[in-house]
Structure 1
Amino acid sequence: MEWTLWFSYILLSFVVITLVHSLLLPNLSKIRRIEGVPLVSVLVPMRNEVRNVKGMVDSVKKQTYKHIEVFFLDDESTDGTSSALELAVRGDARFKVLQGKPKPEKWIGKVFACHQLSEAAKGDYLLFLDADVRIQPEAVERALGLMQQKNISLLSGFSRFILPTWLNKLLVPLQHFFVLFHLPILLANWTKWPPATAAHGGFMFFERSAYQAIGGHAVVKENIVEDVAISKRMKAEGYRMWIANITSVASCRMYETNAEVWQGFTKNIFNGIGRSIPLAVGIILFYGVVYVGSGILALAALLVEERVLLLPYLLIILQAGIVYLNTREPLALAFLLPVASVAFILLLVSAMRKSVKGQQVEWKGRYYG
């Protein structure tokens, strides 16, 4: 079947692209020399995060870089987050708990929380972390060294993900797949072209002077996907922004249940592509034909005994395997890429449908359109 071979050649090119990107993506595996002793402000917004308080506080306390101050902001929680924070930080003068103000109109809740944290911080560098992120003891030291060595004003990256449920396993690691396949790493890290940008709000490390020069989080106050928006703004204003492989120093348990996975991604996925219906349709067709299609061909190979039909499936397994090997995710998930693609397509269709109908998504007691 000649068409199968041509399809496989295309998939092989995808494997090569992914491999090249994985080799080009910088990582935080090295300890680099730090110039001076700059103060780093570690800033963590928390809304109904009582389950994450102890783990987050403990991971920050263990940092090998000692010149830090740490601010947690309780964003009008109703689950005891504030009390848990006060207990966890007791006895360590570097840690402070702030009480968040009511969210103004036209501000996204998390963005306003980050804005308040930045106003309290005194550091030369600002590290924003999500409550569900855990950083290894050398995380601040390694990230700061890389930023200084490469003259970077913003460093971000996607953590290694902890995957407690089946929908977590299917959808969450695709974030790594999208970055290593679709993001042109050379353009992203070595040019100031805003469209070639990716970021993750769970780990955003700013040089303070650059952060303030662009207007901080206030310039993206209405943007649900604030991490990418502020990263693009940094580039547009002439500052260097890098995306890195931070899986050696950071892990993240984003969602506890399948329902949380669905709601969380529904809030962001269609907004993340600018609510563009043509782009969404193109993505659905691409993943449907390439990745779901490869899975269907593999099933057909078993039925009609045409082994050549297995080749596309083997190539997409190889592509996903490269991603998950580099990002410390379970390699077995590579075999489920066609199933993960089906889940991704259904999620994007659902999010697009809600947006077109003007329906909002509820997340931690707030609603997003």
Structure 2
Amino acid sequence: MKLRQAVVLFIDMAMLIIYVLVGIVTVVAGVKLHKMFRLFTLPQSWQFKELPIDELPSVSLCIPARNETHAMTECLERALSSTYPKLEIIVLDDGSRDDTSMLIKSFAHAGVRFVEGKPLPQDWLGKNYALHNLAREASGTFLLFADVDTRFKPQSISRIVDYTLREKVDMTSILPLRADGHRLSVLFATLRQFWSIVFHASTHPAVASNAWLVRRSVVIEKMNSLEEVRLAIRPEVLVAKHLSSTKSYRFLISSVLLGVSYEKKWSSQVETSLRLAFPLLGCSLLWSMLVAVGLACMVVPFAGMLTALLDQDMGLFGVSTLLVVAELVVYGYYLSHIWQRGWTAGLFLLPIILLQEASLVVISAYLYVRGRVTWKGRAIRNVTAR
């Protein structure tokens, strides 16, 4: 009898601690999100200027591609629709095993420049080496690095350049919106963008790898054509961190005004999360386990609400419901800012998303410890944390 009472007391105390922590984390995350969205989203009243052509800097849109036949055509069609008058489009085929190179070359008549990727040196990560070679091939005053799954509206590049010039900075990174409705890849999207926003700090600025505009002289001269970050799992973060020290970096969350969006398959999102999660946690097993457990704990109020309803425990039901509503409000606030439409459909999948994220953190740690992490078919080793 005493043992049973002790177990019940232990469970009650554990639930109390979990609920208190969940409440604190939810409130802090909500406050931080609100602050970051206000800070990083352009107001609707923002007025873009149209400079004379002779005053505009040239821009090289640099796109690394590896096995991207599913997305390449739309990517280049969108890029070619840009209204920016001084735009060079360069696509590097990074050793694709499908028809990516043929697709790129088919756009040569429209002005797309094809670059054949070089063999990967041992002391480079694949994508970083592709960016390095693109930077060396480009001729623009600014380089706009973008993934194949990034989508630009005709006015997007002009507006990114205008904002960068008016802010007098050397780099601007754009977090794209999801514009593709009720697809599984959207509904079950990972929380990578959420972490980037919530954990923004001057020492680790929020950066989106999907689209970042940077002055070419910074990349070539200060970062030695990105050789300084050749093993960084997210080279754009280190470039942004370097520029943040002199207040020469800006981060923006896309909006209807900017018109930058992306479409990414769920499997590709998972592969990206597995590649990034462990390094972003400092390659620490302890932090990985703590984060995974913390994410799992965020699901407890959902389970508690159902259990209390079945047991007719109105006290527990009330507290659990309060926490569930708070979590849904915060998640809904986040989704409403990064989805252009249909975000309410994904709102009630939050428990699944949290468990998915916890699993990805654990699996990422396991794969790195076992040396089994791959990216686009290449093994990843000796990475630089963050």
Q: TM-score, normalised by structure 1?
A: 0.87
Deviation of the 1:332 alpha carbon: 2.6
Distance between the aligned counterparts of 1:218 and 1:8, measured in 2? 42
Q: Aligned partner of 2:32: which letter?
A: I
- Say whether residues 1:182 and 2:194 are aligned partners: no
Distance between the aligned counterparts of 2:372 and 2:183, measured in 1? 25
TM-superposition CA deviations, 1:131-175 (whole Å, max 9, x none) = 111111111111111111112211113222348864653343x22
Any runs of at least 4 consecutive aligned residues in structure 1 with deviations exceeding 6 A, and if so which?
A: none
Q: Relative to 1, partners in 2 of residues 1:179 and 1:294: Cα closer, same or farther, differing over 3 Å? A: farther
Mean alpha-carbon deviation: is it higher for 129-138 or for 310-319?
129-138
Alignment of 1:32-111 (within 5 A): 32-33=48-49, 36-90=55-109, 92-93=110-111, 95-111=112-128
Q: Relative to 1, partners in 2 of residues 1:31 and 1:50: Cα closer, same or farther, differing over 3 Å? A: farther
Match of 2:279 in 1: 271
Distance between the aligned counterparts of 2:20 and 2:144, measured in 1? 47
Conserved? CA contact 1:317–1:337, under 8 Å: yes
Q: CA RMSD in A?
A: 2.6
List gaps (5 residues or longer) in structure 1.
Answer: none
Q: Relative to 1, partners in 2 of residues 1:98 and 1:6: Cα closer, same or farther, differing over 3 Å? A: closer
- Say whether residues 1:298 and 2:298 are aligned partners: no
TM-superposition CA deviations, 1:64-123 (whole Å, max 9, x none) = 212111111111212111111111231x34x21111111112111111111111111111
Q: Aligned partner of 2:84: which letter?
A: Y
Match of 1:313 in 2: 324
Conserved? CA contact 1:45–1:72, under 8 Å: yes
Deviation of the 1:302 alpha carbon: 2.5
Q: Aligned partner of 2:193: which letter?
A: H
Deviation of the 1:278 alpha carbon: 2.6
Conserved? CA contact 2:150–2:210, under 8 Å: yes
Alignment of 1:1-369 (within 5 A): 10=24, 11-27=26-42, 30-33=46-49, 36-90=55-109, 92-93=110-111, 95-161=112-178, 162=180, 166=184, 169-172=187-190, 174-183=191-200, 188=201, 193-195=202-204, 197-215=205-223, 216-236=225-245, 238=246, 240-248=248-256, 249-255=259-265, 257-258=266-267, 260-289=268-297, 291-305=298-312, 306=314, 307-308=317-318, 309-328=320-339, 330-357=343-370, 359-369=371-381
Q: Relative to 1, partners in 2 of residues 1:51 and 1:342: Cα closer, same or farther, differing over 3 Å? A: same
Mean alpha-carbon deviation: is it higher for 81-90 or for 261-270?
261-270
Mean alpha-carbon deviation: is it higher for 359-368 or for 300-309?
300-309
Deviation of the 1:9 alpha carbon: 5.7
Aligned length: 352
Q: TM-score, normalised by structure 2?
A: 0.83
Deviation of the 1:6 alpha carbon: 5.6
Q: Relative to 1, partners in 2 of residues 1:339 and 1:265: Cα closer, same or farther, differing over 3 Å? A: same
Q: Relative to 1, partners in 2 of residues 1:352 and 1:26: Cα closer, same or farther, differing over 3 Å? A: same
- Residue aligned with 2:261, SS: strand
- Residue aligned with 2:188, SS: helix
Distance between the aligned counterparts of 1:294 and 1:281, measured in 2? 20
TM-superposition CA deviations, 1:291-346 (whole Å, max 9, x none) = 21232233234323424120000001000111111112622322222221111111
Deviation of the 1:194 alpha carbon: 2.6
Q: Relative to 1, partners in 2 of residues 1:220 and 1:59: Cα closer, same or farther, differing over 3 Å? A: same
Deviation of the 1:45 alpha carbon: 0.8
Conserved? CA contact 1:214–1:234, under 8 Å: no
Quick one: percent identity of the two aligned structures? 21
Distance between the aligned counterparts of 1:26 and 1:212, measured in 2? 30
Deviation of the 1:13 alpha carbon: 4.4
Conserved? CA contact 1:180–1:323, under 8 Å: no
Deviation of the 1:285 alpha carbon: 3.2
Larger-Rg structure:
2
Conserved? CA contact 2:372–2:379, under 8 Å: yes
Conserved? CA contact 1:63–1:136, under 8 Å: yes
Distance between the aligned counterparts of 1:31 and 1:48, measured in 2? 39
Q: Relative to 1, partners in 2 of residues 1:44 and 1:5: Cα closer, same or farther, differing over 3 Å? A: closer
Q: Aligned partner of 1:232: which letter?
A: K
Q: Aligned partner of 2:188: which letter?
A: L
